[in-house]
A and B are shown apart, each in its own frame.
Chain A
Amino acid sequence: MFENLKEMNFEIAEAHCDAPCGVYDPAQARVEAESVVQLTKKILDLKRPEGDDAAAHLAYQNTLTRFIQIKETRADLAKHHLLVLWTDYFKPPHLEKYPELHELFWKAAKECSYVKQEVSTEHCEALMGHIKRIHEIFWETKGKDVAWYTAS
């Protein structure tokens, strides 16, 4: 039966996830959050120039503005990557096993907002803590033992 089919090419019916598929890693959120942590430190360490040197003040304003702008962008990216994990990777069976998931992601996303709104090492630490927990759960669902690490 169907002998004539052997050499034929058929259209593909995707039983994949949302193609292109399957590549998720909390590391994306972690790297962006680490940038926010570093920029928060840099902003706190940045010294306002003394005196009336216009060039020094301009340089200070320029540097501070750039730090803030990058911090805003990176915090948004961290939130984006977290939301992708939350809504695309994690499925109802994961939620059954880890009932804390929704609150964990909600808190992590909130911290992404707080680290933008404020210059706060406390919120940076809270954000990193949530991402660490997401990392642990994520790799448990994958059945892989991936140690937590940071790039900075």
Chain B
Amino acid sequence: MRNELREANRRDEAAFNAGLREIYRVAGDSMRPTLKEGELVLMNPHAALRIGDIVVARHPFKKSVRLIKRIAEILPGERYVLLSDNLEESADSRQFGAIPAKDILGRVEARVKPGTEEN
């Protein structure tokens, strides 16, 4: 299941300016075609998580590395199976296993395009 990613709006901008959202820059191609290298995404650290959501997570072995992946499954004990959209290009839970809830930093809610006007 893939939840589509909308574009950020004025309300998102206000939430970001209030410190309630974080912005990350995507590196790499493992989330193609949904997200491309260099795109900005808006993350909500407080959102409830569901299967199909894109999330930013701590890498299980390299704690300084942040990953962006999609939740494929939620296992008992609040562990999340994360997969890439581009399965050919990536390592994800197929290699490093499920990620505990504490290492999920938040849900990606929108893509951010600086300088564009709201439709």
A16 touches B62 (CB 8 A): no
Cβ of A144 within 8 Å of any chain B Cβ, yes or no, is no
Are B117 and A1 interface neighbours, CB within 8 A? Answer: yes
A5 to B42, CA, bound (A): 12
Give Cα distance in the complex from A14 to B58, angstroms. Answer: 10
Interface 1/0 per residue, B59-79 and A, CB below 8 Å: 100100111110000000000
Subset of 20 A-B contacts with CB under 8 Å: A1-B8, A1-B113, A1-B117, A2-B13, A2-B115, A3-B115, A10-B40, A11-B22, A13-B68, A14-B27, A14-B68, A15-B35, A15-B67, A15-B69, A16-B28, A16-B90, A18-B95, A19-B62, A91-B94, A93-B88
From the candidates A14, A15, A88, name the one contacting B95 in the complex (CB within 8 A): A88
> Separation in Å of the B85 CB from the closest CB of chain A?
9
The yes or no answer to B30 lying at the interface (CB within 8 A) is yes
Max count, chain B CB within 10 A of own CB: residue among A3, A16, A92: A16
Asked if residues B25 and A14 are in contact (CB atoms below 8 Å), the reply is no
Q: Is the CB of A13 within 8 A of B10?
A: no
CA A26 to CA B113, docked complex, whole Å: 41
Asked, given contacts A11-B66, A12-B27, whether A18 binds B91 with beta carbons under 8 Å apart, the answer is yes
Q: How far is the CB of A15 from chain B (nearest CB, A)?
A: 4
Docked Cα-Cα span, A17 to B10, in Å, equals 33
Cβ-based interface call for A55 (8 A): no
Give the number of chain A interface residues (Cβ < 8 Å).
22
CB atoms of A1 and B116 under 8 A apart: yes
Binding site for B on A (CB under 8 A): 1-3, 5-6, 8, 10-19, 21, 87-88, 91-93
If A1-B8, A2-B8, A18-B96 touch, whether A13 touches B114 (CB-CB below 8 Å) is: no
**A13 near B87 (CB under 8 angstroms)?**
no
Q: What CA separation (Å) do A47 and B27 show in the bound complex?
A: 58
* Contact bitstring B4-25, A, C-beta under 8 A = 1, else 0: 0000111001001000001111
Task: Flag if A14 contacts B94 (CB, 8 Å).
Answer: no
Contact of B28 among A6, A14, A93 (CB under 8 A): A14
A15 near B68: Cβ-Cβ < 8 Å: yes
Query: Which residue of the partner chain, among A6, A8, A16, A92, contacts B87 with CB atoms under 8 Å?
Result: A92
Q: How far is the CA of A77 from the CA of B13 in the complex (A)?
A: 53
Q: Which residue of A lies closest to B118 (CB)?
A: A1
B44 interface residue (CB < 8 Å to A): no
